[in-house]
Structure 1
Amino acid sequence: MKRVVLSMVLTALSVVAFAQSGSEEVTSKNSWLKVGINAGVPFGNLSKTSNFTLGAELKGQVMSTNHVGLGLTTGYNHFFPKDGFKNFGTVPLGLFVRYYPKSHGFFAGTDAGYSFVTGVEGATGGVYVRPQLGYHNYSWNVFAFYNGIFRSEENGSSMQYAGIGATYNIRFHKR
């Protein structure tokens, strides 16, 4: 599993590096950080132990073309437990791709990688996927998402939730 995640990260870094090679440089027009929050409702087996999730995210994006953004993502998602269960969280580490048909309006994309489980003794994470649909403009992205963390049977059941989120674009400035 670790080899798969490492391969995905190295592939994404290679794509980003080659997409920016030549005369292009990282500018506020083609690269930025995204800082955001999200909230979700667990379903499936996860709904037996948690009522609600609240998270923070950090993404670094490079526009490989006028319509496609690539990047790295991380964050923290906290799961608020039902009575009799303990607090826990997840820390995703992954790659993402976004498709922006126009400079403002609809976008679609997905995050994928590995999500680590925190706060549960002996628990391990799993591979995650997080497809998104939303609206974007120069500064903001507002979106709906599904998040699935798929774990092997011996490590526990899969963790699934759906929700909404927003990120703010922090642009790089030349000095």
Structure 2
Amino acid sequence: MKKLLLSVAAVLAFGFASAQDSDGGFQAGIHAGIPMGDAGDVYSVNFGADLAYMFPMGDSFQLGVTTGYSYYSGKSNDTGFGKVKVNGAFIPVAAAAHYSLNTNWFLGADLGYAVYSGDGDGDGGVYYQPKVGYQTETMELFLGYKGISASGGAVSSVGVGAAYKF
């Protein structure tokens, strides 16, 4: 983990030194999704907000950092002793990569750690989100798969999002 953090810091430092065009910068957005797998049995919907800062690394590639808040609304589940509804929430802290296929289409990925901030006790875990999307100079629209893997299981969703580029 220490080597990963040092590597990310080195890449970001290189990004500061080599950033010469104006394609990077702040992005703020929203997302919504449908929980998949075991998470679909417990949660009904996923939504939240995202914040990122991207550093240009060339004409088509950007690296950056991202965080946000991702809320999972719980379903009422019958435990035999009554109905229980557990809401989950995570705060991801991740590195982000963005590759422009052409002027409008891109591939992206986030990789990091998601801190659990929902109801009751819960575990955070490794956070990952591959995505594909459409972009303009000021907006991004994307389709992605969000996963959080912890020792007790995984939470995942398929969703859409939009971001405004500052």
TM-score (norm 2): 0.89
Which stretch shifts more, 157-166 or 113-122?
Answer: 113-122
Percent of residue pairs bearing the same amino acid type: 29
1:107-160 deviation per Cα after TM superposition (whole angstroms, max 9, x unaligned): 0010000011112333111101100000111001100000111111xxx21111
Cα separation, 1, equivalents of 2:26 and 2:66: 10
SS of the equivalent of 1:122 reads coil
The partner residue of 2:4 within 1, 5, 8 is 8
Q: Which residue of 2 aligns with 1:90?
A: 90
| Match of residue 49, structure 1, among 37, 42, 45 | 42
Would the alpha carbon gap of residues 159 and 143 (structure 1) be closer, same or farther in structure 2, given more than 3 Å must change?
Answer: same
In the alignment, which residue of structure 2 is the partner of 1:105? 104
Aligned residues: CA RMSD? 1.6
Shift of 1:91: 0.6
SS at match of 1:15: helix
Letter paired with 2:88: F
CA positional deviation for 1:31: 2.5
Q: Which structure shows the higher strand fraction?
A: 2
Which blocks of at least 5 consecutive residues in structure 2 are unaligned?
77-83
Structural mapping, 1:123-162, within 5 Å: 123-152=122-151, 156-162=152-158
Count of aligned pairs between the two proteins = 159
Number of the residue aligned with 2:31: 38
Distance 1:95-1:51 versus aligned 2 partners, 3 A rule: same
For structure 1, list consecutive stretches of 5 or more residues without a partner in the other structure. Answer: 171-175
Q: Could you list the per-position Cα deviations for residues 13-65 of structure 1 after superposition, in whole angstroms to 9, with x for gaps in the alignment?
A: 211222432xx5666x1421000000000011111111001110000001110
Give distance in 2, aligned partners of 1:78 and 1:20.
Answer: 32
Distance 2:163 2:4 in 1: 24
Three-state SS of the structure 2 residue aligned to 1:121 is: coil
Partners of 2:144 and 2:19 in 1: how far apart?
32
Q: Retained in 2: the 8 A contact 1:42–1:52? A: yes
- Residue 121 (structure 2) aligns with: 122
State the TM-score, normalized to the length of structure 1: 0.84
